[in-house]
A and B are shown apart, each in its own frame.
Chain A
Amino acid sequence: DAGVTQSPTHLIKTRGQQVTLRCSPKSGHDTVSWYQQALGQGPQFIFQYYEEEERQRGNFPDRFSGHQFPNYSSELNVNALLLGDSALYLCASSPEGSAEAFFGQGTRLTVV
């Protein structure tokens, strides 16, 4: 079992550009959540997907959007990048009904 995998591992973008981050959940997991972790801070919840729909959303602007595919993999899209979007973006998966979250290694996004 490969666990939760995220791609790419590192990314550098210019302010104003758009970015897409990808996540494949752990085998058997159908719920995917995305988090943003700024340097020295704890992760902040962005949104959660289940059955290809956004089920919950944290306090993030509409520039942050996502998608879940029939195979449960997910994408996080960020439009009109700001310098403050530079962070480690973490994906977590869990099986429906379970509380335990399993995290990927994250994507380090740098906006210059």
Chain B
Amino acid sequence: KQEVTQIPAALSVPEGENLVLNCSFTDSAIYNLQWFRQDPGKGLTSLLLIQSSQREQTSGRLNASLDKSSGRSTLYIAASQPGDSATYLCAVEGPDQTGANNLFFGTGTRLTVIP
């Protein structure tokens, strides 16, 4: 069964600092990996999607990498801002035990950017 782990569970950084969030998954048979942002009590906002054949994706100050063979992804946030404070979730799309496609989520990293 696919297991997705995110480390650290929580992170506090001063404004302006660059930071890296980590995501690991146990089964490398994935179709893609997606990073989401979630504000408290709210839904998920898609940040970046990396197809299994890709190594990285960039959007503004965000850069996500994927190493499928080692089961790892990182989300790099440059020049962090207080508005970046949120929980960041990693999800992989891949087959479940029945062979059907499913999105498997980590438990997230709660980021606080201190002004």
Chain A residues within 8 Å of B, Cβ to Cβ = 4, 6, 33, 35, 40-45, 55-56, 58, 88, 90, 92, 99-106, 108
* A residues less than 8 Å from B108 (CB atoms): 42
- Asked whether, in the complex, the Cβ of A56 is within 8 Å of the Cβ of B102, the reply is yes
Asked if A58 meets B102 with Cβ closer than 8 Å, knowing A90-B43, A100-B46, A105-B42, the reply is: yes
A87 to chain B, nearest CB (A): 12
- Asked whether, in the complex, the Cβ of A88 is within 8 Å of the Cβ of B41, the reply is yes
Partner pick for B93 among A55, A99, A103, A106, CB 8 A cutoff: A99
Which residue, of B41, B44, B102, has the highest number of chain A Cβ atoms within 10 A?
B44
Complex Cα distance A41/B105, Å? 9
| CB nearest to B99 among chain A residues | A56
B106 to chain A, nearest CB (A): 5
Asked if A103 meets B101 with Cβ closer than 8 Å, knowing A42-B107, A43-B44, A88-B41, the reply is: no
* A residues less than 8 Å from B31 (CB atoms): 99
- Asked whether, in the complex, the Cβ of B107 is within 8 Å of the Cβ of A41, the reply is yes
Is B45 interfacial (CB-CB < 8 Å)?
A: yes
Q: When A and B form their complex, which 4 residue pairs have the shortest distance between CB atoms, in order from nearest?
A: A42-B105, A103-B44, A105-B43, A56-B100
Is B81 interfacial (CB-CB < 8 Å)?
A: no
* A residues less than 8 Å from B21 (CB atoms): none
Complex Cα distance A35/B32, Å? 19
Is B113 interfacial (CB-CB < 8 Å)?
A: no
Complex Cα distance A56/B46, Å? 22
